Every structure is written in C-alpha cells, then in structure tokens.
Chain A
C-alpha cells in the first residue's frame, strides 16, 4: 500500500508542506468580482494582497484565476502578464518580459522608445485589434511587489497605476507582498494613483483548526484501493515527513521525532561537533562577556582566560601551543560563531583583532548539557559564576 500512498500524496499536491489556509471565502469572491469587472466590463482596477509568507496569497490568486478563466468570454479576451520581483530586477528587464508575455516582440521589432511610458502605451495600443473600440483587458500580476518598489523612480509601478487610473486600456494590477508597510515604500505620485485597495491574509487559525485541516489534507479518499490500510492511516496525524517503506504507518512518536529534527537549534547542533579546545575557548569568551558586559575581546584575552582555568586545574591534557589555540580560534571564525568588529586591516595583528561572540549564554549552556562526553571540569568551569 505504501507506493500507492506515496503516489497519491505526491500527485495531488505539488506543495509538500501543508500551509495554513485562512478562511477566505469572502475575499475569494471580492477578488474574483474585481477581476471579472476588468475582464468583462473594461474597468481598470488595482489591488494589493498582503500577508505573511505561507499565508496563501499565491494559492488564493491561482484559485481565483482558475475560477475566472472558466467563463468563455473571459478566457478569450483576457491577457495575463506575470512578473516577479525576484526575477525582473530592473524596469528594462520588466518591460522586455511584458513585451514577451503579450506576444508583441514582432510588433515592437527594433523600435526605440523615448520613455517607459511611450513603450507601455505602444504595447497597449498594439493590443487593439481591428475595429475594436478598446484594447483587450490585461491582468498584471506582480509577485514580490515590495521588490518593484526599489527600482529607479518606481517607473514601472507609476506607469502601471497611471494606466489603471486613466482610460487608456482596461488593466488590472494585482500585487502580492509580505510586507505590511508596503504603502509607505511607494512614492507619493505612485501612491496617489493606487486605489488603496488591500486584501489582508492573516492566518488566525488556532491549533485545533490546524489539526483539522492537516487531517483533511491527509485523509485518504474512499477510492483508495486498500480499505483497511486507509482506515489505519486515517487514524493518525502527521506533521513530519518520515514515511519510508519500513514504517508505513504514522505514530505519535514519529511526529515527535520529526518535530525534534525540524525544530532543532542549528547553532547548538554545530556546537556539538566542536573539539574540546574550541569549546573551552567559547566558554572563556562567555566568561569574558559576563565580566565585561559584552565588550569585544581578542584572542589574547581569550587565551589568558583559558590559561587561568588551566592554572586551577593543573592537568596537562589541555596545555597547547599558542599557535594551536590560534588555529582553533580561526576555525570558530570560519564557522561564523565569532565575528570581527571591523574588516581586517593590515594594521592589526591577528591576535589582537577585536571580535564579538555570536552565541547566546543560554545556547552555550544548553549545548553543553547535550555535548557528548563533555569533561566534567569543563562543565563545572562553564557553570561557575566567577571565571
């Protein structure tokens, strides 16, 4: 039954992680209405979808578009242009992409335009066919809208919103962004042309809601071949991803283990792989931070602190050459557990360069508890209040 299960899971949704879908029936309808008015009645609109990452903005848009394109009239006339802030980092690139997606490369040919506005107007003009009184409606979907705001002069946004306010051509501009303060980033002239229509997607789901939605996603349909297996499967809830041939059924223990893997503190994990010398150096840095209240330190100070610990212990295991300590220190720097205060100039010797520790005391103490085979005197040194 496992192969079938995997197939069912993988085929039905391209998305692996379950996203929280907030209740958005009325937003669905609102957005759908807006876009339908542009497509059928020639009304220009602009709207922003704002919500944190994973709130379902792209999913909402996709479902609305699917709904919209069901109508034959819309399907025939509506043109879509999908732009992404991550890809179209420049207005020139954006304009080329718009030209390409409207299939107007041949029409534009080698023409040179004076300004962005001219170019855009030409494109929209070219969409008028034959004796139609107005051009075809165009839907502009701007993903990562907050990145378009950083283009020079915000030309693309200004022109799009300008067209949406004037009667040139029926366009709809839909922006998706994760920043709540996106309106403050817009220039005054761009902001005034925007319709200030925002749809916020905030997931207000509680944990029981979440569990219910997860269950509904993972619930096997009745058509699933092996009924008994389906029944067993449906009796468990899954948050992690560990489904292998050896373990076809999900148990709560799996959930806990998967959550442990997912939520493990990465920095503490890295601390477990450090050698004892490096760990001692980190403890010495922690003591320096405690005593001098977070002021930056250099290798000489850390080494001095470490030597004070060794004097108390009088064990010969930990006596290392200064060069070996330096190598350990540099390894810590490479792992970005410590960071130099300013860029390394040629003026300061390496031992005297000031650094900061990028770890929290609680992280260090927690990592020490779980450090495999940590020597007791090192542990005691870490926990002592006086260095």
Chain B
C-alpha cells in the first residue's frame, strides 16, 4: 500500500504517528481503519481477528486505539474467570465506577445488558465504543450464550458499540451449534525480518545487524516462526556474535568468520534455551565461561536422571523389558534352555505394532519380578527392600501404576522412561538391553 494512512474523521497527525509505530503493517492498519469508519458512524457489530502468536493482532489494535484516543476497553479472557469480571471491566471503562457498582452479585448477562442500556441512555455514545477481547478462544468454555450475545451486542443494547475478538484459533471452531451473527474475519500476518532488524544495537551498523539476523533465521526459521522467541534469541546471542569483533579477530565484513563462530553456538541454543532447558540467565553465564566449563551446566531434564541403587536399576530394566516385549516372547529371552521356537510366528510383526511406537503396555508385578530374577546376575532373595524399591520407582514417576489403588493382590505397572534413559542405565550396569528387546531383533 503506497502513501500514508489517510482517513476522514481522524487527525492526520495521529495517523502519521500510527504509521510510524506500526512499521510494516500499513495494509492491516488501513483495512482496520476502513472497517472502523468514522468515529461517529456505527461500525460492524463484530470483527474477528485471527493469526499466529506474535503476529501483531493486539499490538496493531492497541496502537490504533491509543493514538486515536477512541473509547475502548481491552479485556483478556484469560483474566475473566467469571463473566462478572468481564462485565465490571466493560462498565467501568465506559461509564465509570458507579455503573460498575450497580451490578448485582453474580450478575447475569441480562443484568449487564439492562445496566448498559440505562447508562447509555444517560450518556449516549458520541463515538464508536470498542470492546476488544484477547484470547477469545476462552469464551467457548464459558456459558453457551455469552459468545452469541457478545456478537450481537450492538443490537441488544442499541448503542454504537463494536466487539473485536482476537484469537489464535480459526473462527470455524468458535461457531455455536445453531449459528450466530457472523463476524467479519480478518487475518494478521506474521512479519519477521523487518521487525527483527529494527532491534539493532546503536553501536553497530544496520547491515551488520541484518547479517546477524539472516544467520539467526537460517538456523531457526525452519523450526520456529514466533516473533517473540526469535527476538529473545537474537538479544541473547548478539554479544557472542560480536565477540570476534571486540577481540579484534575479525572485522564487520568477515561474514564467514563470524558465521563459523556463531553457528555452533546457535545450534546449542536450539537444544537448550529454545527448549527452556536452561534459563536465559544461565545461558548468559555460560557464554561468559570457557567452552570446557560450559558443558558442566545441566539443563532441566538432566534433573530427571537420578542416581539409582544397583537393584533399582535392574528393577527398572526388568520393567522396561516387561512393558515393551510381548508376554509370549519372555520364554525365549529369559529362560535358559528354551528349546526350539518356531521362527515364523515369532518374528511376525509389522511396523505398526512396534511397541516403541505405540507406547508401554501394562504388566503384572509377578512378571516383572520373574524377569528381574532372570536378569540380575546374582541370586537375590525377594525381600521387603526389593519391594520398597519398586514403590520408590513409582514415586519417582519412573514407573506408573496402571491398576486401581484398591487392587492390592495383583497390581499392574507401566514403565515410563524413554529408550535413551534406559540405555544409559543399562550401560552403567554393563547390561546389553538391546539384545533383549523384541523390536530390535
């Protein structure tokens, strides 16, 4: 869209300021302004704006409302646990605290509409009032009548009010069963490169920063398009990118050297900061430390790797084998002299039923103990200490109880650890678990 934002009824100066604050969103701002029309005119009763996270839905609307000083109320549906909070906020913003105080305890939609009508007959709207609801998908979980009523609010209160819904989820999932007043749908596009380039550090040139952004996007673009995440990552890693420059090892134009410096760092960031394994603070500290020491920082999921006692490890291995091997194969794996087993029946498996894709199966306690006794190398007496270790495994959530708490005589369990974890454990006890797994025969 060429040319500045123009619209009758709004101050030119303010429109120019909006165009500055919303750098790459002229098209969307233009469309919104044309939908809103002049302030004294009635707008479309309901508008639905959807788009991915951080695609500028709230930002655009907020900027327009603030700069043009239109009467509006911004409600986040996450905060409105009950509809009373929503009604209070709306009445408070449009008519003041006295109106909000008129709401009875536990107000219904009927009360809200009645009070609104009373108030707006006293103070009618000179300009269109806007009710903007963020995270509108939460409205679907409230009373069934709230969403259709909000869409028709202009008709119900007979006032110049317009409801704007912002959501990540498409409108098709909102529609009530018997239909409702259809809002105007409007999509916000995500804009990445231009907005990211605007965050540049003042002491470096714009081209330098945009080359940095290009490298960053090269690593992360195929995984994530969320503007907030990318800005966060850009801010965190910029100092590391500038390191060679500060140390004098490279110049701004040595893109290849800079790239070689930063790329493994970014890949590491994808494994840690992006997944929130380490916090941003820890990440910044890691950057300052030497590379050799940096490996010592543990991510969040490292905390699940607890040191288990010797027999507990074997119990866990036995549980894993019991979960992922079908019961009919136990004889072949765990009995010393199993004789001849027909290969054809045994090996008949197709990929779909591979247990490693479907998930662990529940097994009775006896089976696990049988496997345990066959797997452990020394003779172990079934004592209370063994059984108590099983309970602690359940508490650590390495095993899940698959039967009801009431069943005491034949409890069933499921193994809840991943393949990598159990391989690591088996290595520490010198046990080759892959040999005993049916799926890897």
Q: Do A and B come from one complex?
A: yes
On A, residues with C-beta under 8 Å from B are 2-3, 6-7, 10-11, 14, 16-17, 52-53, 58, 84-90, 93, 96-97, 100, 146-147, 178-179, 241-246, 261-262, 264, 266-267, 269-270, 273-277, 292, 298, 300-301, 304, 317-318, 320-321, 323-324, 327-328, 334-336, 346-349, 351-352
CA distance A282 to B275 in the complex (A): 21
Least CB separation from B43: chain A residue? A16
Q: List 11 A-B contacts (CB under 8 A).
A: A10-B42, A14-B42, A87-B109, A87-B113, A241-B34, A245-B7, A246-B6, A266-B185, A270-B170, A347-B400, A349-B416
B55: chain A residues within 8 A (beta carbon): 273
CA distance A58 to B223 in the complex (A): 50
Candidates A6, A146, A335; contact of B169 at CB < 8 Å: A335
A89: chain B residues within 8 A (beta carbon): 108-110, 143, 145
- Interface residues in B159-190 by Cβ distance below 8 A to A read 168-173, 178-182, 184-187, 189-190
Q: Across the interface, do B173 and A336 meet the contact criterion of CB distance under 8 Å?
A: yes
Candidates B8, B52, B359; contact of A298 at CB < 8 Å: B359
B7: chain A residues within 8 A (beta carbon): 244-245
Interface: B372 (CB within 8 A): no
A142 to chain B, nearest CB (A): 14
A351: chain B residues within 8 A (beta carbon): 359, 418
B316 to chain A, nearest CB (A): 15
Candidates B41, B170, B222; contact of A10 at CB < 8 Å: B41
A241: chain B residues within 8 A (beta carbon): 34-35, 44, 184
Given contacts A86-B145, A244-B7, A245-B6, contact A321 B271 (CB under 8 A): yes
CA distance A166 to B149 in the complex (A): 34
B43 to chain A, nearest CB (A): 8
A334: chain B residues within 8 A (beta carbon): 168
Q: Across the interface, do A266 and B178 meet the contact criterion of CB distance under 8 Å?
A: no
Q: Across the interface, do A86 and B152 meet the contact criterion of CB distance under 8 Å?
A: yes
Q: Across the interface, do B275 and A323 meet the contact criterion of CB distance under 8 Å?
A: yes
Q: Across the interface, do A349 and B221 meet the contact criterion of CB distance under 8 Å?
A: no
Candidates B110, B143, B148, B187; contact of A97 at CB < 8 Å: B110
Q: Classify the interface of chain B: helix, strand, loop or mixed.
A: loop
A317: chain B residues within 8 A (beta carbon): 222
CA distance A104 to B118 in the complex (A): 17
Least CB separation from A16: chain B residue? B44
Candidates A245, A264, A292, A335; contact of B187 at CB < 8 Å: A264
Q: Across the interface, do B52 and A270 meet the contact criterion of CB distance under 8 Å?
A: yes
B372 to chain A, nearest CB (A): 22
CA distance A269 to B50 in the complex (A): 10
Given A87-B149, A266-B172, A300-B357, 6 further pairs, Cβ under 8 A: A87-B156, A90-B108, A93-B110, A179-B178, A300-B359, A349-B359
B118 to chain A, nearest CB (A): 11
Interface: B402 (CB within 8 A): yes
A275: chain B residues within 8 A (beta carbon): 221-225
Candidates B42, B152, B223, B414; contact of A324 at CB < 8 Å: B223
Q: Across the interface, do A352 and B360 meet the contact criterion of CB distance under 8 Å?
A: yes
Top 7 A-B pairs ranked by shortest CB distance?
A352-B359, A10-B41, A266-B170, A276-B222, A86-B149, A273-B52, A87-B110
CA distance A179 to B179 in the complex (A): 10
A66 to chain B, nearest CB (A): 15
Q: Across the interface, do B352 and A292 meet the contact criterion of CB distance under 8 Å?
A: yes
Interface: B31 (CB within 8 A): yes
Digit string of B26-51 for contact with A (CB within 8 Å is 1, else 0)? 00001101110110011111000011
Interface: B274 (CB within 8 A): yes
Candidates B8, B34, B37, B51; contact of A273 at CB < 8 Å: B51
On B, residues with C-beta under 8 Å from A are 3, 6-9, 30-31, 33-35, 37-38, 41-45, 50-52, 55, 108-110, 113-114, 143, 145, 148-149, 152, 154-156, 168-173, 178-182, 184-187, 189-190, 221-225, 270-271, 274-275, 277, 301, 352, 356-360, 400, 402, 414, 416, 418
Q: Across the interface, do A147 and B145 meet the contact criterion of CB distance under 8 Å?
A: yes
CA distance A264 to B186 in the complex (A): 10
CA distance A266 to B187 in the complex (A): 8
Least CB separation from B187: chain A residue? A269
Q: Across the interface, do B223 and A262 meet the contact criterion of CB distance under 8 Å?
A: no
A203 to chain B, nearest CB (A): 15
Given contacts A89-B145, A347-B400, A352-B358, contact A328 B38 (CB under 8 A): no
Most buried by B among A14, A93, A276, A304: A14
B177 to chain A, nearest CB (A): 10
A273 to chain B, nearest CB (A): 4
CA distance A174 to B180 in the complex (A): 20
B354 to chain A, nearest CB (A): 8
B190: chain A residues within 8 A (beta carbon): 273
Q: Across the interface, do A11 and B402 meet the contact criterion of CB distance under 8 Å?
A: no
A335: chain B residues within 8 A (beta carbon): 52, 168-169
CA distance A253 to B352 in the complex (A): 52
Q: Across the interface, do A6 and B108 meet the contact criterion of CB distance under 8 Å?
A: no
CA distance A87 to B221 in the complex (A): 47
Q: Across the interface, do B171 and A266 meet the contact criterion of CB distance under 8 Å?
A: yes
Q: Across the interface, do B170 and A300 meet the contact criterion of CB distance under 8 Å?
A: no
CA distance A2 to B169 in the complex (A): 36
B193 to chain A, nearest CB (A): 12
CA distance A196 to B170 in the complex (A): 40
A14 to chain B, nearest CB (A): 5
B50: chain A residues within 8 A (beta carbon): 266, 270
A132 to chain B, nearest CB (A): 30
CA distance A277 to B190 in the complex (A): 17
Q: Across the interface, do A327 and B275 meet the contact criterion of CB distance under 8 Å?
A: yes
Q: Across the interface, do B41 and A7 meet the contact criterion of CB distance under 8 Å?
A: yes
B10 to chain A, nearest CB (A): 11
CA distance A277 to B185 in the complex (A): 27
CA distance A301 to B44 in the complex (A): 46
Q: Across the interface, do B6 and A273 meet the contact criterion of CB distance under 8 Å?
A: no
Least CB separation from A275: chain B residue? B225
Least CB separation from B110: chain A residue? A87
Given contacts A266-B171, A269-B187, A336-B173, contact A298 B178 (CB under 8 A): no
Q: Across the interface, do A11 and B359 meet the contact criterion of CB distance under 8 Å?
A: no
A17: chain B residues within 8 A (beta carbon): 44
Candidates A10, A14, A321; contact of B38 at CB < 8 Å: A10
Q: Across the interface, do A273 and B189 meet the contact criterion of CB distance under 8 Å?
A: yes
Q: Across the interface, do B189 and A304 meet the contact criterion of CB distance under 8 Å?
A: no
CA distance A65 to B26 in the complex (A): 45
Least CB separation from A243: chain B residue? B34
B162 to chain A, nearest CB (A): 10
Q: Across the interface, do B34 and A324 meet the contact criterion of CB distance under 8 Å?
A: no
B301: chain A residues within 8 A (beta carbon): 323
